[in-house]
Amino acid sequence: MSFNFLLFAALSIVLQVTSARSAEPPVTSIAFAPDGNSLVACSQAGLQVYSWPELVQQKRIEVSAVNLHDIAFSPSGDRLAVAGGSPAEDGSVEIFSWPEGKSLHLFRNHTDSVTTVAWRNETSLATASLDYTVNIWDIKSEKPIHTLQGHSRGVSSICFLPDQRTLVTTGIDQSLRVWNSDSAELIHGLSIHTQHVHHLATRPAADGLPMVASASGDRTVRLWQPTIGRMVRFAKLKSIPLNVAWLPDGSKVVACCTNGHVYVIDPDTVEVLHDIPAVDGWAYSLAVHPTDGTLAVGGSNGQLRRITMESE
């Protein structure tokens, strides 16, 4: 029985710590550094690094884009990709060395804001934009290998399956699309959500077919098996989920919502196990610590909160 299963089996709420200041823009994306000792957060206020678990600001990294939407560490953890841009004008992804924060690459090909970025492997990554397209980039040449076209509106989230070839995309057109990123071939188109889909997350390695969780404006978190084009089950929430993540062992799904709460969901029964108040206002972003099971939540007015689960 895993540590994370024991941790979430019986929860007593919850320690919350904030480093937020009022009148700050929403925290749009957060990610733990690979060693788990710091947390990186982005917003219209820029890219900032905080100590963990104290949430004391350590430094600020200057980024070319004005509006920042998403961040992602490379598989090796030595680089950080930052996505952003200007609405209806341009979109970009900048790659920095980690932890130095030196700018290494800048990708500009999208004609609207880049909403999300996902590493395929150490030499390529995918970007999605409000310009309806997804690009697969070769990092060394800073040029797109493929441009995936098929969404009828802006693309909000993407994720690779563990094979590093199959890519799942979603967005404002309410659909999920499954692609072979090697050939740019569309494998499946899935249209069950009834509102915008905000976020996707791949279940960590587990037995059976790969699984992806999606969070939508229809107040559902849906679970999919993309390789066979099948929705497995869904959980209906009290509020709209904006971001979704898995525990490191894949045993639970967590979603943060517009009511500022975090919901812990059993992916097998889709039972909502816990409803945890996290931030005041909307909770936009969520990250799970790589080893200790704690959560970081980013919200309105620059709020950052640490949630520590304590067993009864």
Residue 310's pLDDT band (cuts 50, 70, 90): low
End-to-end Cα separation, the chain, in angstroms: 17
Angle (CA) 36 38 41, round 5°:
120
Burial class (CB in 10 A: 0-12, 13-18, 19+), 166: buried
For 243-286, give the DSSP string: EEEE-TTSS-EEEEETTSEEEEE-TTT--EEEEEE-SSS-EEEE
Across the range 93-99, mean pLDDT stands at 98
Q: How far apart are CA 136 and CA 286, in angstroms?
A: 25
Q: How far apart are CA 167 and CA 121, in angstroms?
A: 12
Give residue 83's pLDDT: 98
Residue 155's pLDDT band (cuts 50, 70, 90): very high
Side-chain-side CA neighbours of 43 within 13 Å: the count stands at 19
* 83 closest CA partner among 20, 135, 145: 135
Range with the lowest mean pLDDT among 20-29, 117-126, 148-157? 20-29
Give residue 9's pLDDT: 30
Give residue 309's pLDDT: 65
Residue 293's pLDDT band (cuts 50, 70, 90): confident
Q: How far apart are CA 290 and CA 102, in angstroms?
A: 24
Residue 277 preceded by cis peptide, ω within 30: no
Give the residue with greater pLDDT, 17 vs 271. 271
The answer to whether the CB of 298 falls within 8 A of the CB of 41 is yes
Q: Does domain 3-311 have CATH number 2.130.10.10?
A: yes
Question: Is the pLDDT score of 222 beyond 50?
Answer: yes
Q: How far apart are CA 267 and CA 251, in angstroms?
A: 7
Burial class (CB in 10 A: 0-12, 13-18, 19+), 170: buried
Helices and strands, counts by H and E, the chain: 1, 28
Q: How far apart are CA 260 and CA 263, in angstroms?
A: 10
Residues of the chain with pLDDT > 70, as a percent, come to 91
Average pLDDT, the chain: 92
Give residue 4's pLDDT: 34
Angle (CA) 50 309 156, round 5°:
60
